[in-house]
Amino acid sequence: MRQTIIFFPQHTRSALFEQATPPWQRILQRVAATPAGSPLAPPDRLASLFGGAHIPWAALMARQQGLVAHDAQHWACLEPVRLSPGRDTLILDGKPQVPQDLGAPFLKALTGLIAPLGWQVASTLEGRVLIRADQPLGLTTEPWWRAWKQDIRGYWPCGPQQRVWQQIFNELQMLMHLDMRPNKLGNVGLGQVANAWWLWGEGAITASTAAWTNVYADDAIATLLCVWQGTRAMPLAHVLDRALPRGNTLIILGQCLPQGREEEVLDIDFLDKLSHLVTTQGQHAINFIFADGASGRWRPKRWGLW
């Protein structure tokens, strides 16, 4: 059965209605949104559409970079974040842009810290570190976005290697503290924008149960989930190239990851063009999912009074 879903990861139905132009408002007026059954962050909401509860995020990044030699390899990701002290808490309140080059001294120190666990540095693309191991890491981790603006104690890695990871975490914080000055080229030191490393995404490659024929998105999370499914996300603008495609189609209008601002700005011109496509060429129902998880269905009019 053909299915089309339009997902707004950064906008609730009411917020979208306030910003939208009349064509979209007319569409939204006919969408009776049902509240979500359980709260989920937008990346997890999107992952649920791909059939995943525990997503091997780091393994998907490794596959995207062509690093996975066999499916039995285990992976994890180290992501630089900013933590702020609260009242008896530590709050994850920043995901900064970091230097692309983490520097040879840091990587040498990191390699020495994780080697006793059988972990290896596999990649440092885009300021994050991918870790590879031949055995399970002995830790259960949480994606950093679940701890966004939260006390990190509820999202801390747990498992047989928890104490070892705490020691490594402390050592990495000290390394970041030492990297506070610009280098000879004038590049910002890592410790000037971040003060901790978040371990997340552990696991080995698993099979996806999703069956999306078409995915349109300009979003990093959607791109990774398409890697998991064995397809690729097409640029969002391509959805306007022709009539709504056949097969199961997922359209993601916005970024799933926290953006560090209250609300993402809508591309009104794109929305108007998409609304025209939906109302003039849509011959089947379209499901909407909003940032708070509320969902509803829009159906084309089959008849009218003239």
Instruction: Convert the pLDDT of each residue in 72-102 to its tens digit.
Output: 899 999 999 999 988 888 999 888 877 677 8
Higher pLDDT, 165 or 175: 165
DSSP 42: H
Average pLDDT of every residue of the chain: 85
Residue 132: pLDDT over 80: yes
- CB contact at 8 A, 107 and 99: no
Interval 34-43 mean pLDDT: 85
Q: What is the pLDDT of residue 301?
A: 67
DSSP 140: B
Residue 303: pLDDT over 70: no
Nearest of 74, 44, 80 to residue 62 by alpha carbon:
74
The dihedral through the CA atoms of 147, 9, 67, 96 has a sign that is negative
Q: What is the pLDDT of residue 74?
A: 96
Interval 165-173 mean pLDDT: 92
* Whether pTM exceeds 0.85: yes
Residue 185: pLDDT over 60: no
**Residue 302's pLDDT band (boundaries 50, 70, 90)?**
low
Higher pLDDT, 33 or 75: 75
Interval 136-153 mean pLDDT: 94
Q: What is the pLDDT of residue 286?
A: 87
Interval 231-244 mean pLDDT: 84
Q: What is the pLDDT of residue 278?
A: 75
Nearest of 209, 288, 296 to residue 254 by alpha carbon:
288
Residue 259: φ, ψ to 5°: -105, 0
Alpha-helical (H) ranges within the chain are 13-19, 22-29, 42-49, 57-64, 104-114, 162-178, 220-229, 268-281
Q: Please state, in angstroms and as integers, the Cα–Cα distance from residue 64 to each residue in 78, 136, 145, 196, 227, following that order.
A: 17, 21, 21, 25, 7
Q: What is the pLDDT of residue 239?
A: 86
Which has the minimum average pLDDT: 18-22, 108-112, 195-199, 277-281? 277-281
Q: What is the pLDDT of residue 304?
A: 44
Burial, 185: exposed, middle or buried (Cβ in 10 Å; 0-12, 13-18, 19+)? Answer: exposed
Interval 263-286 mean pLDDT: 76
Residue 267: pLDDT over 70: yes
Q: What is the pLDDT of residue 166?
A: 94
Q: What is the pLDDT of residue 184?
A: 44
Residue 155: pLDDT over 50: yes
Interval 219-236 mean pLDDT: 91
Q: What is the pLDDT of residue 173?
A: 87
Q: What is the pLDDT of residue 182?
A: 52
Q: What percent of the chain has pLDDT over 70?
A: 89
**Residue 306's pLDDT band (boundaries 50, 70, 90)?**
very low
**Residue 199's pLDDT band (boundaries 50, 70, 90)?**
very high
Q: What is the pLDDT of residue 158?
A: 95
Interval 130-153 mean pLDDT: 94
CA dihedral 227, 97, 76, 9 (to 10 degrees): -50
d(CA 65, CA 175): 27
d(CA 60, CA 68): 9
- CB contact at 8 A, 234 and 216: yes
Q: What is the pLDDT of residue 131?
A: 97
Q: 251 forms bridges with which residues in the sheet?
A: 6, 216
